[in-house]
Amino acid sequence: MSKDRPAPEAPQPLFPLVDAHTHLDACGASDAASVRKIVDRAAAVGVERVVTVADDLDAARFAVDAANWDARVYAAVAIHPTRANVLDDGTKAEIERLAGDPRVVAVGETGFDFYWPGKLDGCATVPEQEEGFRWHIDLAKRLGKTLMIHNRDADQALLDVLREEGAPDTVVFHCFSSDAAMARKCIDAGYVLSFSGTVSFKNAKALREAAPLVPADQLIVETDAPFLTPHPFRGAPNEPYCLPYTVRALAEVRGEEPEALARASTVTAERVYGLRPVSG
């Protein structure tokens, strides 16, 4: 993401949409007023609800606060796999307390990131990530909440751990970026795949081949803002209001009408996160 590129202009509205994974704090929100401004911009183009996601303890506290400040915001809390080495007893206790808040709709993002160990100072090792992932799986099952997966270069390892632990009733692969073979395995297991701006990237050939395989009731959409801004704005700051760009790109790849995909993804997001239906 480059600070030199201006933010994308607002897309043509597309109703109704749920941004299934964003980071409002990283988008610049710090209090109720700034959360409201970001969500107002999103609502103006049809993104009526957002799930703001934590990757560390401070972000988890903020996510729960944001979800209680604005009824259009929901939260997901966990410790990101690259930070799993901070999961001591005190951190686990606070994540568990936060995850029990009624405005928290998922435990996440958790999982595996095999890209950063050895490249990023202080990054959790793979064994530390695995220990953290197994703990988050157990937490999601104990609380009866959706499990939100982060996956980078770890397809089979994730599937193996989910099988060994026994997956929660609902599992979301956030920012699905794998190929058709992995998509089929996830579909067969009943997991939900969430698509971000990466599906609009012309060089994401394997992902664009996988996208049409996913049944509508196992597909949701996200921004992962402020990251992964869709084409042709790649590298510019992302925000939930940009989601219609991704949905239109995904609809083109799937050979569907954007309006139909928007409605279907919202119905699925409502089920996955236990949101009150507002879609027609």
Known binding-site residue numbers for a divalent metal cation: 21, 23, 109, 150, 174, 224
Distance (Å, rounded) from C-alpha 158 to C-alpha 149? 9
Name 35's Cβ contacts closer than 8 Å, sequence gap at least 6: 24, 29, 66, 69, 70, 73
Point out the annotated binding site.
21, 23, 109, 150, 174, 224
The string of DSSP letters for 45-56 reads TTEEEEEEE-SS
Closest to 231 in 3D by CA, of 245, 243, 221: 245
Helix (H) or strand (E) holding 272: helix 258-273
CB 226 within 8 A of CB 27: yes
**Alpha helices, H only, 10-123:** 32-43, 57-69, 89-99
What are the helix and strand counts (H, E) for the chain?
9, 8
Distance (Å, rounded) from C-alpha 182 to C-alpha 156? 8
Distance (Å, rounded) from C-alpha 170 to C-alpha 148? 9
C-alpha 124, offset from chain centre: 21
Burial class of residue 152, CB neighbours in 10 A (0-12, 13-18, 19+):
middle
